[in-house]
A and B are shown apart, each in its own frame.
Chain A
């Protein structure tokens, strides 16, 4: 007997654990018990095996690791007696799940037990199989389960039926084997078998249309009759729940009938009478009755149209909604969501009630109702609905604000009849709950603002007012800062005054004050500060009078602890001081942002994130926007491919919208890494700054014009991706980012000379050998890279029988041309060249990689050198 497990009973252990006052004490007790159990397991102590497993299960429930007991379950299951098996199977279901490989070991025991003479043991095995079987087990044991569907004892038949559901879910191609036995279960009188049989049929219908067809053909009438018998059956105490005979069976039957009736007029017709009877005669004062009515209404709504029945169902709905029980109201809303597809008008009738439910104190109901509202809104009622929701937003709970904000934004975007209304509503939302507004939403707002050229003045003034009222909401601050930066002159001069506006007087220094507040506010994050810095920079050309002050503020950020701000302020400062001539061109207003790109990006790359807020900005004519936006649009499309997918939320849309090819950005920050979210808004704003003048005033600066010249062919060959690397790798970028403008010159020159070129790399170098790669691509075929490999001998000996071999991962295809020679002269006195062609099937996603092997003879020695090349330029 081992010294630890002194026959401590399960009950004693539970008591000991319950007596613990602290978590530490509990851990100590559990540790001691586990040690004892482990010791017993090691000794293979049979007498207490089931007790130990029971203890382990309790310990498991407390959340402690118990994997060491898994094998004990298998041993218990393999033993002969019922008590051991019972606890063994229980442990198996509790401690393991279908993904553990240990489970495979139990298949054999299960098979034996499924054929056991004791029906309770068969029952245990079925239960375990039904609860945790994996696909392999399901396939292996399906024939046994199928046989048990006809077992003499009904309790085994019902277990086998449910087990079959699991099997067909795991292995759908077994459906055929179960179809006919399942159909015969429907004729049973035993309620347990009947209810499980109905569920099995439902399961079969869900996985196979063939089964659905079969049951529809052969069982619809029988099921209708069964339901009628049950509904009309006299009081039977065994199955009675609140005066209704077996509501569970009712519900399962209705569920199956729903599947059978859906899309089939004959089957639907067949069940009309009984549905009408259930809908009208079921008592609705108890939960069980309501559960049946709920199911019945769903069935009526799903099967083929029958006017009378629908009316009945809608009436029940009305009753549910006005019920005082929250549960009933909840399911009422749930049903309305389904009904809205077929009976939209009837649902619209309940609009007021639904809006009331949005304001309910119960979060579950609120959520349901809000989703329903979302479905109810259309072009004609968007205004009153939005008004209600925004009013409610002001008083709603904090945790609900996120949801409701998302819905409002999405509705406003989807259905707004005019831009000014859209902007107004968004401003309200931003000032009320701006912190809950997702980034893509305010990005979209900026795009819309940018496109509404007649509303620029109005918007910037409204934003300024809202900003003055409160700076609490981050995204309001961002949008305001952006607009003031862009349209600051309109703010000051009251340009484009609308009739509905009250005039305000804002001086230039007021506007700068506002931005200063944003940049200095302790709660502003990096994105906001970065945007504010750019806005200031832009204002420096709009408000020449304030430029000294702006310079001061920008200068203060030189000491910022945030690297981005620091670097940017140094650069801006440099531009303000040294490059007066280009400043005004650099800081011109943004070209109008392209709505279609935004939309394309929304639809394409963010399908799940925006299910609640699919952005479809108002379809208003772009006016002057089109021609100006076109060239940028082209670049944008390309840069979309170029941006690696993992770039996260903050700022990336804006980044794409605002201009963005990554090249100047990476040049500025001196790295070739994809930019991180949040910080690049700034970079990109700047990059557009350098590009815009190129398009609008070609003579402004040769760097920008040459940049543009080069960009066109690049863009055509889809080789934009090459640019960042080139810049990053070229020595110029290390020359210091202070000289960012100067730094462009050598690069651009190089660009002009070589076209889209890649720097050569030293792919491999050892004491005796160096291999360099030169890259080239054919225009219009970005996937294929031509590599010229040059081998140089670094030793004083001649190499003979020189052989170069290379291997690449699967997504690449490699073609090797013969080498120029097989003899490599000594001491770098000549070289061997060899051409390689690599086709990258994952171009833009993965960069090249290669393993190489070089064999040669020197002084009659065979030499083998091996290596791995992963310093390929990215985006090859």
Chain B
């Protein structure tokens, strides 16, 4: 099971955190600081796995961002690397060659995508296309709702004029 997902920038800024196991606010900050220190300081050619407090943290760097996932001792590290890549590809497809700024300004979108990919710390969907389709469908639901709201407030505005 995946216990948490972290996206950390090269400067150590947190871009996304998702916790599937209970960690208190304090623990979360500590975990992020601790892992940030370990992972950011590792050289480029070393392996992508770090043993940490009896868990394993699999990380991979894409441009300026480190994607980290914490898994159990007996989980498949190589597969988690593949899941990270899967996530990145979906982000890439959604944002159109994603960059860190996309994830900063549309962080909630990144969360929505992650929620379609993982649930309860397990893998939910293996098809990039399906994830993209589901996100698009929900986005359009939001758009229609906004338009409706807009038109209603227009009507109200006109009526109260």
Q: Which residues of A contact B (CB under 8 A)?
A: 11, 14, 18, 54, 57-58, 61-63, 65, 81-83, 86-87, 90, 93-94, 97-99, 120, 123, 126-127, 130-131, 155, 158-159, 162-163, 165-166, 191-192, 195-196, 199, 238-239, 241, 246-249, 251-252, 255, 287-288, 290-291, 294-295, 326-331, 334, 361-365, 367-368
A86 vs B135: C-alpha distance in the bound complex, in angstroms?
A: 12
A130 vs B123: C-alpha distance in the bound complex, in angstroms?
A: 12
B49 within 8 A of A: yes
- CB–CB A158/B125 < 8 A: yes
B127 within 8 A of A: yes
The 5 closest A-B pairs by CB, nearest first: A291-B78, A326-B47, A130-B120, A162-B119, A362-B46
A331-B78 CB under 8 A given contacts A61-B16, A82-B141, A97-B23 = yes
Note all chain A residues with C-beta closer than 8 A to B50: 364
Question: 8 Å CB contacts to A: which residues of B100-149?
Answer: 104-105, 107-108, 111-112, 115, 119-120, 122-130, 134, 137-138, 141-142, 145-146
Note all chain B residues with C-beta closer than 8 A to A252: 123
- CB–CB A162/B124 < 8 A: yes
Q: Shortest Cβ distance from B8 into chain A, in angstroms?
A: 11
Note all chain A residues with C-beta closer than 8 A to B32: 63
Note all chain B residues with C-beta closer than 8 A to A295: 76, 79
A291-B145 CB under 8 A given contacts A18-B104, A82-B138, A99-B24 = no
Query: For A54, A58, A196, A367, which residue has the most chain B Cβ atoms within 10 angstroms?
Result: A196
- CB–CB A238/B129 < 8 A: yes
- CB–CB A199/B24 < 8 A: no
A94 vs B107: C-alpha distance in the bound complex, in angstroms?
A: 12
Q: Which of B14, B19, B76, B120 is the one whose CB lies under 8 Å from A63?
A: B14
Note all chain B residues with C-beta closer than 8 A to A123: 134
Q: Which of B51, B85, B120 is the one whose CB lies under 8 Å from A165?
A: B120
- CB–CB A248/B83 < 8 A: yes
Contact with A along B44-57 (1 / 0, CB 8 A): 01111111000000
Note all chain A residues with C-beta closer than 8 A to B48: 327
A238-B127 CB under 8 A given contacts A61-B15, A63-B29, A83-B146 = yes
Note all chain B residues with C-beta closer than 8 A to A195: 123, 125-126
Note all chain B residues with C-beta closer than 8 A to A90: 108, 111-112, 115
Note all chain A residues with C-beta closer than 8 A to B112: 86, 90
Q: Which of A83, A249, A290, A291 is the one whose CB lies under 8 Å from B126?
A: A249
A252 vs B146: C-alpha distance in the bound complex, in angstroms?
A: 40
- CB–CB A367/B76 < 8 A: no
Note all chain A residues with C-beta closer than 8 A to B18: 93-94, 131
- CB–CB B76/A294 < 8 A: yes
7 contacts between A and B (CB under 8 A): A82-B145, A87-B108, A159-B124, A162-B122, A241-B86, A291-B78, A330-B77
Q: Shortest Cβ distance from A369 into chain B, in angstroms?
A: 12
- CB–CB B20/A131 < 8 A: yes
- Compute the total of residue contacts between A and B using a CB distance below 8 Å: 161
- CB–CB B78/A159 < 8 A: no
Q: Which of A65, A196, A294 is the one whose CB lies under 8 Å from B122?
A: A196
Closest B residue, CB atoms, query A160:
B119
Closest B residue, CB atoms, query A54:
B108
Note all chain A residues with C-beta closer than 8 A to B25: 65
- CB–CB A83/B119 < 8 A: no
- CB–CB A330/B127 < 8 A: no
A249 vs B134: C-alpha distance in the bound complex, in angstroms?
A: 20
- CB–CB B120/A291 < 8 A: no
Q: Which residues of B contact A (CB under 8 A)?
A: 14-20, 22-25, 29, 32, 43, 45-51, 76-79, 81-83, 85-86, 104-105, 107-108, 111-112, 115, 119-120, 122-130, 134, 137-138, 141-142, 145-146
Note all chain A residues with C-beta closer than 8 A to B29: 63
Q: Shortest Cβ distance from B124 into chain A, in angstroms?
A: 6
- CB–CB A364/B46 < 8 A: yes
A196 vs B112: C-alpha distance in the bound complex, in angstroms?
A: 19
Note all chain A residues with C-beta closer than 8 A to B24: 97, 99
Note all chain A residues with C-beta closer than 8 A to B16: 61
- CB–CB A98/B142 < 8 A: no
Note all chain B residues with C-beta closer than 8 A to A130: 119-120
A97-B22 CB under 8 A given contacts A82-B141, A163-B120, A192-B127 = yes
- CB–CB A191/B81 < 8 A: no
Q: A294-B78, A364-B50 are in contact. List 12 more A-B contacts (CB 8 A).
A: A14-B105, A90-B112, A98-B22, A120-B137, A123-B134, A162-B122, A192-B124, A192-B125, A195-B126, A239-B126, A287-B81, A294-B76
- CB–CB A159/B119 < 8 A: yes
- CB–CB A199/B122 < 8 A: yes
- CB–CB B126/A246 < 8 A: yes
Q: Shortest Cβ distance from B60 into chain A, in angstroms?
A: 10
- CB–CB B127/A327 < 8 A: no
A98 vs B121: C-alpha distance in the bound complex, in angstroms?
A: 14
Closest B residue, CB atoms, query A118:
B141
Note all chain A residues with C-beta closer than 8 A to B127: 191-192, 238-239
A58 vs B111: C-alpha distance in the bound complex, in angstroms?
A: 12
Q: Shortest Cβ distance from B153 into chain A, in angstroms?
A: 9
A54 vs B124: C-alpha distance in the bound complex, in angstroms?
A: 25
Note all chain B residues with C-beta closer than 8 A to A290: 78
Q: Which of A82, A94, A127 is the one whose CB lies under 8 Å from B119?
A: A127
A163 vs B119: C-alpha distance in the bound complex, in angstroms?
A: 7
Note all chain B residues with C-beta closer than 8 A to A241: 82, 86
Note all chain B residues with C-beta closer than 8 A to A54: 108
Note all chain B residues with C-beta closer than 8 A to A83: 141-142, 145-146
Q: Shortest Cβ distance from A703 into chain B, in angstroms?
A: 52
A851 vs B100: C-alpha distance in the bound complex, in angstroms?
A: 65
- CB–CB B49/A191 < 8 A: no
Note all chain A residues with C-beta closer than 8 A to B17: 61, 94
- CB–CB B146/A248 < 8 A: no
A251 vs B104: C-alpha distance in the bound complex, in angstroms?
A: 33
- CB–CB A11/B105 < 8 A: yes
Closest B residue, CB atoms, query A133:
B120
A190 vs B24: C-alpha distance in the bound complex, in angstroms?
A: 37
Closest A residue, CB atoms, query B123:
A248
- CB–CB B122/A327 < 8 A: no
Q: Which of B15, B126, B141 is the one whose CB lies under 8 Å from A248?
A: B126
Note all chain B residues with C-beta closer than 8 A to A238: 127-130
Q: Shortest Cβ distance from B151 into chain A, in angstroms?
A: 14
